[in-house]
Amino acid sequence: MILKAEDLTLAFPGFRLRVPRLALAPGEVLVVLGPSGSGKTTLLRLLAGLLPPEGGRVTGGLRVYLPQTPPLLHRSVLDNAAFGPLLHGVPREEARRRAQARLKEVGLEALAHRPAHRLSAGEAARLALARALAVEPEVLLLDEPTANLDPANALRVEALLRRAAEEGRGVVLATHNLFQARRLGHRLLFLHRGEAVEEGPVAEVFAAPKDPRTQAFLRGELVF
């Protein structure tokens, strides 16, 4: 396993997240579903090491977290893509080489010298993913990466995530998009009010969810 969490807990006023166990294998896509406020973003930030847990622990390889709207620097597309590996101590020339390779993969090679702030939403999302991949992480942690994209750009980002998994990276994907969960996920974790309610293979959970809260969410009912 390249990522493990055990007895993970964190509390805020009026909210408590508890995930007894989570494991991710190389090449696996774990989809995290749940209504707004269920703890999806909190879980991702805990897994990334951006929040310290009150209890439990997270172990595993190099992880990169992409928030729903990843910030871009007021620099060129290439400099943005190289910034991730530079932060991790990669020498400048190697960082730029990785950045150029990843920009080519995401279809932004021709825009390498354009100011990043002039990119469209779809291009910016692909740039953020290129920057993350240039770090060469073992695990990608993504929070609604296609929420603000049109269908064509959303499918393009999904193809890049699928390729990342094929390269052997683990992917934890928080999403509200049930169709996306079916297309990309291998396993599914459903959260409700901070509780890990149900987990299993995506096809099995969609076909026969065991918990009434999961059943209600997959029927499109609001679950609070």
pLDDT one digit per residue (tens) for the chain, 224 residues: 899 999 999 998 889 999 999 999 999 999 999 998 899 999 999 999 999 999 999 999 999 999 988 889 999 999 999 998 998 899 999 999 999 999 998 889 999 999 999 998 889 988 999 999 999 999 999 999 888 788 888 888 899 899 999 999 999 999 988 999 999 999 999 999 999 999 999 999 999 999 999 999 998 875 55
Q: If DSSP codes are grouped into helix, strand and coil, which group holds residue 88?
A: coil
* pLDDT value at residue 157: 86
In the chain, at which residue ranges do the beta strands (DSSP E only) sit? 3-12, 15-24, 29-33, 55-60, 63-66, 139-143, 170-174, 187-192, 195-201
Listed by start position, the domains of the chain span 1-61+138-224, 73-135
* pLDDT value at residue 175: 92
Q: Which amino acid does the sequence have at 126?
A: R
* pLDDT value at residue 147: 83
Residue whose pair of structure tokens reads 């390889």 in the numeric block: 61
**Separation between Cα atoms, residue 15 and residue 37, nearest integer Å:** 9
Residues 6+ apart with CB under 8 A from 55: 7, 8, 9
* pLDDT value at residue 154: 86
Residue 181 and residue 33 in contact, taking contact as beta carbons nearer than 8 Å: yes
* pLDDT value at residue 224: 58
Say if residue 213 is exposed, middle or buried (CB neighbours under 10 Å; 0-12, 13-18, 19+): buried
* pLDDT value at residue 222: 59
DSSP bridge pairs for 101: none
User: Tell me, which fold does domain 1-61+138-224 have in CATH?
Assistant: Rossmann fold (3.40.50)
DSSP letter at 123 equals H
